[in-house]
Amino acid sequence: MSAVYINSAACISVQDTLNENFLQSLKPEYSTLVLKAIEPAYKEFIPPAMIRRMSKTVKMSSVASHFALKEAGVENPDAIIVGTGIGCSQDSEKFLKNVLDNNEEFLTPTYFIQSTHNTVAGQIALGLQCHAYNFTYVNTSSSLEFSLLDAKLQISDGEAENILVGSTDEQTERTMELYKLNKTIKKEENLPVDFLNSETEGVIWGEGASFFVLGKDKTENSYTQLTDIQITNKLDLEETQQFIEDFLAKNNLTSNEIDVAILGFSGDAKSDVYYKNAMSLFKNSALLYYKHLSGEFNTASGFSTFMACHILKNQEIPDVMMINDLKKQEIRNILLYNHLGGSDHSLVLLGRA
């Protein structure tokens, strides 16, 4: 199978990641339960008449995909693949509220039509007039990983040359209320959060959109080589290290050859034990975390993939992400490990382009 490269990366997040100098202005968030994305001036990219009809996740994705395609120099990709956990939940809530407010009568179909998870990929395709393969993966915290795997297989098999891959999730008022009630989000009294040594359950919730262009050819601007992906729905705690070691062995690597391991510590004491278990494998690696910068959400791994791309390209690790103080002179291999609440575990291996 031929190599697959990530040739561009764009991200809208709770950090100012559209700014070229964002690495110098990363600010950890320990004391806010729900983090809002820093949004661009949408009218610079989307006609005002369309903006009014778009939910937040569609707007974020439209702009992030625009930047990703522009950076890669691709006008029309051979496929558009998007991963999302809760999709266009703003429009879903608006539709359900209309059903209740109007006693199930005289409903306008707009919110229902735009509430489907594949609205994002569809809107991007409409904007580009792209009639190619268009697919949406909805697999909670491994939605992006399934999207990357699909794109990697298509490029490796010669079915496509350049594919736009993205991940996106938004917040809605009612969903955040429910997440607080079921203790997905932490209680106020448990703030500020110690992400690495938390003793309480729940997380700080975020949102964002990350888009990448994957290609079969290495370019001058290539960030990284997408080496491999592994996904499993359920994993017993004692199986964690074997899961990682088997994945690395499949790629002819050992844990000693991983220069950077990026772990998805979320501040949830119940599920972060998987990351603590994995840490002991990487005694000779730089250990990083990132959800104190992005918040936890279904496709938070998009933020970590975006950061990993910049770390490999710049050969520099932001101090604010470091768990230990080990830095390698050359960064060749990065391993990303993520899950959500102890389910849907994913490993992504990136190599230097």
Total domains, the chain: 2
pLDDT at 1: 62
pLDDT > 90 fraction of the chain, expressed in percent and rounded: 85
- This prediction has a pTM of 0.95
Q: Domain of 98: which CATH number?
A: 3.40.47.10
Q: Are 141 and 298 in contact (CB under 8 A)?
A: yes
What's residue 177's pLDDT? 93
Average pLDDT over residues 187-205: 97
The answer to whether residues 22 and 122 belong to one domain is: yes
pLDDT single digits (tens) 234-279: 999 999 999 999 999 999 999 999 999 999 999 999 999 999 999 9
Do 181 and 277 lie in a common domain?
no
Q: What pLDDT, on the 0 to 100 scale, is given for residue 103?
A: 83
Q: Are residues 126 and 230 in the same domain?
A: no
pLDDT given at position 95: 75
Residues 251 and 319 both lie in one domain: yes
Q: Clarify whether residues 163 and 306 are in a common domain.
A: no
Task: Give me the mean pLDDT over the 180-204 stretch.
Answer: 96
Domain boundary among the residues 181, 215, 249 is at 215
Instruction: Render pLDDT for 7-49 as a digit per residue (tens, 0 to 9).
Output: 999 999 999 999 999 999 999 999 999 999 999 999 999 988 8
- Write down the pLDDT at residue 90: 76
- Residue that the structure tokens 């104190």 belong to: 292
Tell me: pLDDT of 109 over 80: no
On whether residue 102 sits in a domain, the answer given is yes
Q: How far apart are CA 16 and CA 248, in angstroms?
A: 33
Is 76's pLDDT higher than 80?
yes
Which range is least confidently modeled, 65-69, 83-87, 206-210, 227-231? 83-87
Residue-wise pLDDT for 160-188, tens only, equals 999 999 999 999 988 999 999 999 999 99
Instruction: Please determine, for residue 293, whether its predicted confidence score (pLDDT) is greater than 70.
Output: yes
How large is the average pLDDT for residues 301-325? 97
Question: What pLDDT shows up at residue 94?
Answer: 78
**Residue carrying structure tokens 């559209």:** 18
Specify the higher pLDDT residue, 96 or 78.
78
* 220 within a domain of the structure (yes/no): no
* Domain extent at residue 332: 225-352
> How many Cβ atoms are within 10 Å of 43's Cβ, its own excluded?
9
| Residue 15 and residue 77 share a domain | yes
| Residue with the larger pLDDT of the pair 81 and 172 | 81
Same domain for 249 and 153? no
Write down the mean pLDDT value for the chain. Answer: 94
Q: Is residue 269 domain-shared with residue 162, that is, in the same domain?
A: no
Report the DSSP beta bridge partners of residue 162. 215
Report residue 99's pLDDT band, with 50, 70 and 90 as the boundaries. confident
The mean-pLDDT minimum among 59-68, 104-113, 132-141 falls in 104-113
Q: Report, as an integer, the average pLDDT of 223-239.
A: 97
Same domain for 272 and 206, yes or no, is no
